[in-house]
Amino acid sequence: MPVTFQTDLGFDQIRLLDERREPDGTRPLSATFHFLVDGASGLNTAIATFHPRLTDEEWRRILAAMSFEERATFDVPVLGGQAGPPFDTAAKFLRDAIQQRDLHHDPQAVAASREVYDALGSTGVPLPPAPQRADWPHRPAREAWDIEKRISFIREAVDHATNVGHHRVIGDPTSKQSRLLVAITALFLKHYSEP
C-alpha cells in the first residue's frame, strides 16, 4: 500500500537540494522514519531509512508545483514569448544561461550571459553609453555621473566579467559567481526591455 508524506522546506533547504546535483543529474535524498509497531509483544519501535534519488526532471516538476520563485531571474519576461522583438534574441540567450546555471555548467552559463549583452547591443534600441574606462578610476569624473550613467557603468563592468573566453587564464567561474552574473544579466534585460 503506497504511503504519501509531505514536508515543509525553507529557502535554505531548497537551495541546498538544488545544489546537490550529482554528475548523473540526480539529487540524492535521505529520509528516516520512526514507527511504533503494535504486535503480540506490545508496542515496539522500528526505524526505516530510505535513499531515493530525484532526477532533474522530477526536481523541476517539484519546483514548478511549489511555484518556488527565489531567483530574481524568474521575474524576467523570458518565457512564452513575453520579450518580443527586438529583445527576443537576448531573451533566448538568457533562457540558455538560466538552463546552463541550473545544470551547474557555470562557464557555459556565464558565456550565454555574455551573448545577452551582445544581443542587447544589436537590438537597434540605443542603450545609454557607458562611461569611458579611462574615467573609471577617477573619483571626480565618477561623482559627476548621473544615475543612468552609473547603471551603464555597472552594465559595462558585468559585460566585461561575462567575457570568460578572453579570461580563461584566471580560471572558470564558480557556481556562486555564475548565479550572480546570470541574475544581474537578467535584471539588465528586464530593465532595458520594459517600456
Which of the four pLDDT bands, split at 50, 70 and 90, describes residue 117? very high
Are 109 and 19 in the same domain? no
Rg (CA), the chain: 23
Are 106 and 29 in the same domain? no
Are 170 and 87 in the same domain? yes
Q: Is 165 helix (H, G, I), strand (E, B) or coil?
A: helix
Are 60 and 78 in the same domain? no
37's CB contacts (< 8 A; 6+ apart) are 43, 44, 45, 46
Mean pLDDT of all residues in 57-80: 61
Q: How high is the pLDDT of residue 109?
A: 93
Q: Are 116 and 93 in contact (CB under 8 A)?
A: yes
The tens digit of pLDDT for each residue in 10-68 reads: 666 777 777 777 777 788 888 888 777 777 887 888 888 888 888 888 887 877 777 66
179 CB neighbour count, 10 Å cutoff: 20
Residue 117's domain comprises 73-193
- Whole-number Å distance between alpha carbons of 132 and 135: 5
The DSSP H or E segment spanning 186 is helix 175-193
- Whole-number Å distance between alpha carbons of 135 and 91: 31
Mean pLDDT of all residues in 84-91: 83
28 φ, ψ to 5°? -75, 135
Are 39 and 130 in the same domain? no
Q: Are 50 and 31 in contact (CB under 8 A)?
A: yes
The model's pTM is 0.61
Residues in the chain: 195
Number of domains in the chain: 2
Are 152 and 189 in the same domain? yes
Are 78 and 114 in the same domain? yes
Are 163 and 101 in the same domain? yes
Q: Are 102 and 171 in contact (CB under 8 A)?
A: no
Q: DSSP code of 144?
A: T
| C-alpha angle 159-21-2 in degrees, rounded to nearest 5 | 140
Measured CA distances, 131 to 113, 158, 193 (Å): 21, 14, 21
